[in-house]
Structure 1
């Protein structure tokens, strides 16, 4: 049964199989065609491949033939040129035409020596001629090198500049690039030495009353640097033309050695004639032992200026060299690693030169003398501090900051970032040390109690106050000096802020291409000035607090306490009278006006506004206390609200600062005491638009001060 089933299944597929066989029979002719076409295409590809290989072989043969022809032409040209050069160099030597002879030798040196020897071996019949030409040119090259070297030396001895330059241009034609540069640079160094010694001798012979006597050594050093710069500018084009680019680094290296020798001589004479070592020793001894010999800082003023000029000229000279060398290397070198190596070589040469060491020595002496000049000048300014009648500050502020600015700007003229940072740090140390301590110590003495009479104080003021010490009987004078020193602190903050901003822009202009490390140094120094501002602000706040304790609080307390003597249970008739007269607040405002008038002309604007802020805080705090000790009816609350508004309006009018925040609690207290119904308080306390400063407990306490509110209603109040 299973077999029959399979058989039937196969028979059922008969039609399908026959259809497939029929379709295959139709495709068979096409398969034959495809096979035939495929064989043709394969034969065509094989033929094309063979043809391409044949063409490539022909091309290779042509390239080989062309290269051989080129080599043959070059050999022929070299042989012809060799013979011409051999004949020409002999004639040039006879005629002493060294340029022409050097040109023939240069052509010979540019030939492939091994190729010439192979050519001589290949051409047996001309072997003797080629060999003799080679020998002739080799001997001529040696002879020319000897002659040109000798002629160059003779030209140097006879100081024949035209001949020196003539033979200098011949050296590279003979393959003597390094020798030529060394000899020419040695000649330039000789001329440089003669000029430098002449200038130094003239500097030593200058009279002391000459107008350039104070900067004669900086002038001498400037002439040296200008001479080297002139040499580079004049001869760099010649070197690039005849020796090729990339030779300037070697040239400057040789010139720099002579520069180092001359700089050492100039610095040695400068140290000797200006007695630098002795002055630095005196300064160091005085710093270690103040009782030792003391030098007048004025004597260092011109000297410090000369040192900064010398240092700035050296820095300018180094920048010039670096710019020229960098441009020369960029033209001659394409490899980035080699470029960096050459730049590092130049920088190492400069950093290890006697010029750099000499400038470091000068900078060290400068910083020692500048520190002494700065400290002693500031101490002197503090010691001769005076206060003029028409001035809000004493003389020490302008004097000290004039000295500080002078020293910092002088350090900037040296073009030394390290020097600038050192002097700025010195200035910060003095301002936050001696200067701030003087201000703090004077303010620590406090503001003398008693009522003011500044006109009397001015008439009693002497022309100077030594060391800030006053006689105990000079009360008015003590008040005046306290206010002056408070103003000194405020003005000093402004001066430091201005100095910080101006220094930042000036440093950026003086040092336009600072590295990240150098920028970090400058930012650190400027942050030191910001630290000085913080210290001075703390001193100013301390002085204002002293003024509050001595002059504000003792007067404000009795004036505000007078509120307790006023009856706040007011009937309708009293309400009308209070609205027109306002006796308490008018008296308080009059007293405050009298107090402020005493300070208005003597305090700076900033200090005056700060004083009003302190006065406002003191008045509001004291008034809140006395209000909480009183009881009110609604009319009394309305009067209180009006009085507080009048007081706030007055204080807001006399200052540029906002006093609204300081009156917030008082205003809300007056609002609570002036409501008609206690239920209104829930609306006030819950209002989103009002920044309520009072706690619910305080609101209930204040509401209980209304005699017309029942205690049980106050307790039931939902806040």
Structure 2
């Protein structure tokens, strides 16, 4: 190819490109009113290209290498031209989207004016689906499409503002559902920031209307306040949870996660602001002064009665219960929302975040509960009654007081309230009830003497009416029953706490368990005192049995056949008579636990003293051993018919002693010892067996010692 042909080909290519350029320019002029930017760009490119071609043409005449540079420059120009085409296409697409959005907004404006929500929501969704026009690279003053679109968009937002403002001004919220329809449309047109402003104002108006109702009750008389105060607090929490639950579900599809999270927190914050003002008004109305309460606790003044304190506690516990329930449900709703929308909120932080004013409520509640328990127990001791009951009225009164306080604390659902009340109950039992009952029964125990107990059980004769001695013994037994009942009462409270459901963190629940254990341990003090006083009575009764045991100690068990047949059980008969009197006159005035413990203790002491007399003071022949065994069997049989005790366990050693003493030969023991014992469980050991056999005057001591047991 010659140099002239190459130049001609380049010239033709340039002519073709110039022709296409002109055609594209004409296309852009029809689409854009402001096409001068693209045209100016192309014009600049053409001028550069012409200059380049002119320079390249002159250079091509000199060297063939420069001709290839001209070709490369042509390729670069072609690429720039393609970019210009793409830009023109994008501009066309943006303008078409703007035209579509303008058309949709005009229809949306008509639908909003007509109140057609179905069409309006559909059109707002279509608008949101359209790509927003890009104004980068355009001069707004020359972009009539952009200006027209903004004007129509502002008109639509103005209509939405008017509609929403009208709903918010309606105190009854009769068009509440329409509000969220408008909010959904606004989220598609104006973005989420505008929506949050609407929601913020809606929440403020919706929640604060409860405040106005509560203020009206505060300004009313006391009976109206007590009747409606807690109900209105419930309404406040219920309304907050309603807009959190129902409305949040409708907002989740139209707002992003961050906006939903902000809405949730906004609900709680507004409710907290209202509640804070209400608590300040409540504390001011009730005039709860910390110094006054502390003076009451320290007994430096007595301005509050137990009845007034009880009324205040019912209010405070109800208030705490409503707040704790609100916080639990609130966190539950948050969890549900988080699970459905993948919103990440710190539930622990929300649950632990309590109002400072509510901390004051908890402190006042705990102090008043302690004061209520203390004052009520003092009143119970002052008005104590006896009647014909096993226990005094103090038991029922303290049970009522402690159960009322514990149940009231459990109803609050607050670990703080429950733990503080448990500490107060324990303090009352240890520092108030126990010292009072301990001092009382210690004084009464000084009057318990053998002679008085003999008169009380009418051992020698039946007395008419209540003698002073019997009254003293009955008073002691009643106090003993009271102490035993207090121990059982504490265990009832423990069962109540165990069966109750307590909310809170693991640390809170562990602390309550620790308080429960401490309360349970306090019952041991009453048990120990009760056991100590039962031992006092048991020791006195052992002295009463002294005469019977003296008869046993002077009885000869070296019997002949004639004496064996004529012998009667004098000492066992007297023991049975004493126990008959106990079951008739003493057991009925004792609690089941105390009577069982007392009888068991008396029988154990009696069996131990009988065994000691047998082993140290008596001698037996074969008939005497048989006779003693028969006496023990009859004694056990008669006592079993009188007492509900395991007599065979208590007298098992005496039964086996009688059995060994009744053997015909000393080596008969070998038939029942070791592998030959069968079902018999020996309660005496080898040395004791030999010692018992040595009590037989007809057995040689050397033979007994030689036994291989």
Provide TM-score, normalisation by structure 1: 0.75
Aligned with 2:551 (options 547, 554, 562): 562
Partner residue in 1 for 2:472: 478
Counterpart of 1:315 in 2: which secondary structure? helix
Tell which deviates more after alignment, 443-452 or 553-562: 443-452
Aligned with 1:603 (options 565, 590, 614): 590
CA-CA distance at 1:400 after TM superposition: 0.6
- The answer to whether the 8 A contact 1:249-1:325 is kept is no
Cα separation, partners in 2 of 1:265 and 1:696, compared to 1, 3 Å: same
Whether 2:234 is the aligned partner of 1:219: answer no
CA-CA distance at 1:92 after TM superposition: 5.9
Aligned with 1:178 (options 178, 193, 206): 193
Whether 2:435 is the aligned partner of 1:448: answer no
Partner residue in 2 for 1:700: 690
Cα RMSD, aligned residues only: 3.6
> What are the Cα deviations for residues 413-461 of structure 1, in whole angstroms up to 9, with x where unaligned?
2121221122122212222332223333333332511223379999669
- The answer to whether the 8 A contact 1:432-1:536 is kept is no
Aligned with 2:264 (options 241, 252, 255): 252
- The answer to whether the 8 A contact 1:245-1:328 is kept is no
Partner residue in 2 for 1:648: 636
Provide TM-score, normalisation by structure 2: 0.76
- The answer to whether the 8 A contact 1:218-1:306 is kept is yes
Whether 2:307 is the aligned partner of 1:298: answer yes
Partner residue in 2 for 1:200: 215
Partner residue in 2 for 1:665: 653
- The answer to whether the 8 A contact 2:199-2:263 is kept is no
Aligned with 1:392 (options 352, 365, 390): 390
Query: Following the alignment from structure 2 to structure 1, what is the Cα–Cα distance between the partners of residues 531 and 265?
Result: 60
Cα separation, partners in 2 of 1:625 and 1:349, compared to 1, 3 Å: closer
- The answer to whether the 8 A contact 1:214-1:303 is kept is no
CA-CA distance at 1:76 after TM superposition: 8.4
Counterpart of 1:679 in 2: which secondary structure? helix
After the TM superposition, which segments of 4 or more aligned residues of structure 1 sit over 6 Å from their partners?
71-78, 98-106, 158-161, 454-458
* Superposition map of 1:66-85 within 5 A: 80-85=96-101
Partner residue in 1 for 2:531: 541
Counterpart of 2:477 in 1: which secondary structure? helix
CA-CA distance at 1:493 after TM superposition: 3.0
Partner residue in 1 for 2:275: 263
* Superposition map of 1:52-451 within 5 A: 80-89=96-105, 110-111=129-130, 132-138=144-150, 140-141=152-153, 144-145=156-157, 148-149=160-161, 152-153=164-165, 156=168, 162=175, 167-205=182-220, 207-208=221-222, 210=223, 212-232=224-244, 235-240=247-252, 242-243=254-255, 247-277=259-289, 280-288=290-298, 290-293=299-302, 295-333=304-342, 339=343, 341-344=344-347, 348-349=349-350, 351-352=352-353, 356-388=355-387, 390-445=388-443, 446=445, 448-449=448-449, 450=451, 451=454
CA-CA distance at 1:701 after TM superposition: 2.8
Query: Following the alignment from structure 1 to structure 2, what is the Cα–Cα distance between the partners of residues 460 and 291?
Result: 43
- The answer to whether the 8 A contact 1:102-1:174 is kept is no
CA-CA distance at 1:365 after TM superposition: 0.4
CA-CA distance at 1:300 after TM superposition: 0.7
Cα separation, partners in 2 of 1:538 and 1:215, compared to 1, 3 Å: farther
Query: Following the alignment from structure 1 to structure 2, what is the Cα–Cα distance between the partners of residues 714 and 84?
Result: 125
Query: Following the alignment from structure 2 to structure 1, what is the Cα–Cα distance between the partners of residues 241 and 202?
Result: 16
> What are the Cα deviations for residues 54-108 of structure 1, in whole angstroms up to 9, with x where unaligned?
xxxxxxxxxxxxxxxxx99999877644322234435766997598899778656
- The answer to whether the 8 A contact 2:395-2:482 is kept is yes
Whether 2:606 is the aligned partner of 1:619: answer yes
Query: Following the alignment from structure 1 to structure 2, what is the Cα–Cα distance between the partners of residues 691 and 296?
Result: 64
Counterpart of 2:412 in 1: which secondary structure? coil
CA-CA distance at 1:586 after TM superposition: 2.0
- The answer to whether the 8 A contact 1:448-1:475 is kept is no
- The answer to whether the 8 A contact 1:367-1:423 is kept is yes
CA-CA distance at 1:368 after TM superposition: 0.4
Partner residue in 2 for 1:630: 618
Cα separation, partners in 2 of 1:291 and 1:568, compared to 1, 3 Å: same
Counterpart of 2:403 in 1: which secondary structure? helix
> What are the Cα deviations for residues 548-595 of structure 1, in whole angstroms up to 9, with x where unaligned?
123x121122211211222211111111223xx433322332233223
- The answer to whether the 8 A contact 1:105-1:174 is kept is yes
CA-CA distance at 1:654 after TM superposition: 2.6
Query: Following the alignment from structure 1 to structure 2, what is the Cα–Cα distance between the partners of residues 599 and 94?
Result: 98
Cα separation, partners in 2 of 1:605 and 1:73, compared to 1, 3 Å: farther
Cα separation, partners in 2 of 1:215 and 1:569, compared to 1, 3 Å: same
Counterpart of 2:345 in 1: which secondary structure? helix
CA-CA distance at 1:610 after TM superposition: 1.5
CA-CA distance at 1:408 after TM superposition: 0.6
Query: Following the alignment from structure 1 to structure 2, what is the Cα–Cα distance between the partners of residues 434 and 386?
Result: 18
Query: Following the alignment from structure 1 to structure 2, what is the Cα–Cα distance between the partners of residues 108 and 588?
Result: 106
- The answer to whether the 8 A contact 1:182-1:254 is kept is no
In the alignment of these two chains, the number of paired residues is 606
> What are the Cα deviations for residues 496-533 of structure 1, in whole angstroms up to 9, with x where unaligned?
3233223322x22xx4x654334323322332332133
> What are the Cα deviations for residues 156-203 of structure 1, in whole angstroms up to 9, with x where unaligned?
457796575564333201242232232233134134324422331234
Partner residue in 2 for 1:11: none
Query: Following the alignment from structure 2 to structure 1, what is the Cα–Cα distance between the partners of residues 233 and 681?
Result: 73
